[in-house]
Chain A
Amino acid sequence: MYIIVAGGGKVGFYLARELITGGHEVLLVEKSASRCEIIAAELGNVVQRGNADEASVLAEAGTNRADVVVAVTGDDEDNLVICQVAKRRFNVPRVIARINNPKNEEIFRLLGIDATVSSTDLILSVIEQEIPEQALVPLLRLRHADVEVVDITLPKDSSLDGVALRDVRLPPESLVAFVIRGGESLFPTGGTTLRAGDEILALTRPKHEEELRRLFFVARTGTAASRPR
């Protein structure tokens, strides 16, 4: 594939290096002459100096035959314009933009840029997985299917301790798919009795996640169960 990488900062540099190692034809476009020299010394003759947001620079870079354009400069507005010009003026089949402000993801989608990568969002999601509130961790979100897989550890004083799964009133469109207990794993049936400490994998709609959380973390006394740490 012929891939144009716009922006020769750290992200652009390492991305270009990995793509070259992967056997792709790569051209990196960078505006700073000194940055171009450094990159050329490391990666060879794969750098073009210029502003990738200028159509003349993209034309010179052979954008009309590019399979992918990736815009990874530090400025969201530059990445937007690079991708839009590549897509609309040069008919590049696939454009990818790095975004810094996670709120721009929706705006980019509305303006025709479907593939965005936000490092801010990625770090946020990792933090949220590391320190879960009440041990319900969204493991995977299937955006197109509107389904998520969540991981729940049943707290000690949960009202569901000792309750058979068939008697648990799950929220609509939710399913307990898998239970891990003391190193053993089981596919539960209606007769499976839940125990405190069980690690439960459940499928649910994102809109029912909060309801599911409340169900599992209500203590026997009716108040919220202790937060496991």
Chain B
Amino acid sequence: MYVVIMGCGRVGARLARMLVDASHEVLVMDLSPSAFDRLGRDFPGSTMVGNGIDHEDLVKAGIERADAFAAVTQGDNRNIMAAQIAKHVFKVPRVVTRIYDPIRQDTYKALGLDAISPTIIGAQVFYGMLTGEESQES
């Protein structure tokens, strides 16, 4: 599978390593070249300095042949915009995005975007560990 990852923070870099370890072809994009340090020197995938909400940069990243796209930058709106471009303009079969804000995550889930909110997941895990019960919220 060819996967384009936008955002080389902790999650993006870790995800990239997991995918290459499982023999997938990976390209990681970030606006800052120094972000790629997180991948380690021996990272066998590709990196590209570029903007994931820029149509041309996405084409350069090979989005047209990508099987999957993950938007994991720090900005919810950048992730939302990039994910929608990947899904609706380039018709990438699998698109997943991170949205910290639970309300925005809810809105875009309703609009058909596969979105995960680390805020909700994190709070649920904490709740479970603190109380020994499962959270009633979803």
Q: Does B80 make an interface contact (CB < 8 A)? A: yes
Which residues on B sit within 8 Å (CB–CB) of A103?
A: 54-56
In the bound assembly, the distance between CA atoms of A78 and B80 in angstroms comes to: 10
Is there contact, CB below 8 Å, between A110 and B104? Answer: no
Is there contact, CB below 8 Å, between B104 and A85? Answer: yes
Main secondary structure of the interface of B (DSSP, over half): helix
Is there contact, CB below 8 Å, between B107 and A85? Answer: yes
Interface size class of B (residues with CB under 8 A): 20 to 34
**Distance from B96 Cβ to chain A, minimum over Cβ atoms (Å):** 17
Partner of B80, one of A75, A81, A110: A81
Q: What string of 1s and 0s marks CB contacts (under 8 Å) between B86-106 and chain A?
A: 001100000000000101100
Q: Does A21 make an interface contact (CB < 8 A)? A: no
**Distance from B62 Cβ to chain A, minimum over Cβ atoms (Å):** 19
Is there contact, CB below 8 Å, between A77 and B104? Answer: no
Is there contact, CB below 8 Å, between B53 and A77? Answer: yes
Interface, chain A (partner B; CB < 8 A)? 53-56, 75-78, 80-81, 84-85, 88-89, 101, 103-104, 107, 110-111
Interface, chain B (partner A; CB < 8 A)? 53-56, 75-78, 80-81, 84-85, 88-89, 101, 103-104, 107, 110-111
What are 6 residue pairs bridging A and B, where the CB atoms are less than 8 Å apart in the complex? A53-B76, A53-B104, A54-B103, A81-B80, A103-B55, A103-B56
Given contact pairs A53-B101, A55-B101, A80-B80, a sample of 5 additional A-B residue pairs in the complex whose CB atoms are under 8 Å apart: A53-B77, A54-B103, A56-B103, A77-B78, A80-B84
